[in-house]
Amino acid sequence: MNIEDLRIFCLSLPAVTEDIKWGNNLVFSVAGKMFCLADLDPPLRVSFKVPEEEFIELTSTADIIQAPYFARMKWVLVLEESRLSRSEWEHYIHQSYALVKSKLPKKLQDSIGN
């Protein structure tokens, strides 16, 4: 996964927007709520939300740590892009999207669709 593949995948999800925050982070959001954040400078480092039960498991492996400033919300930071396969990247990013979307008001969720 590279930054362009990440962009294509994230933007393929319903109602996703992208913008740059904090000067150097590409941020993907659904209904204004972030679900994925990537450093624009190489190497590619990506943060996303995971379920609580996966948080400890993932952060106890090599090249995945608790995301600075976001760890209390169960976000992880992948330090090495080769750490995950393409299918794993897509799984975790889609899962993060679904977790964030599930916290939106029901009416807004329904308007976004699948």
User: What is the model's pLDDT at position 10?
Assistant: 98
Mean pLDDT by 10 residues, the chain (114 residues): 95 96 94 96 95 94 93 94 95 97 92 78
Q: What letter does residue 50 receive in the DSSP assignment?
A: -
> CATH number for the domain including 68?
3.90.1150.30
Cα–Cα separations (whole angstroms), residue 46 to 39, 57, 105, 108, 114: 7, 17, 27, 27, 24
**Which pair of structure tokens corresponds to residue 30?**
């659904």
> pTM score, two decimals?
0.94
Specify the pLDDT at position 65: 96
> In total, how many domains does the chain have?
1
Range of the domain at 21: 3-112
Cα gap 87→53, rounded to integer Å = 20
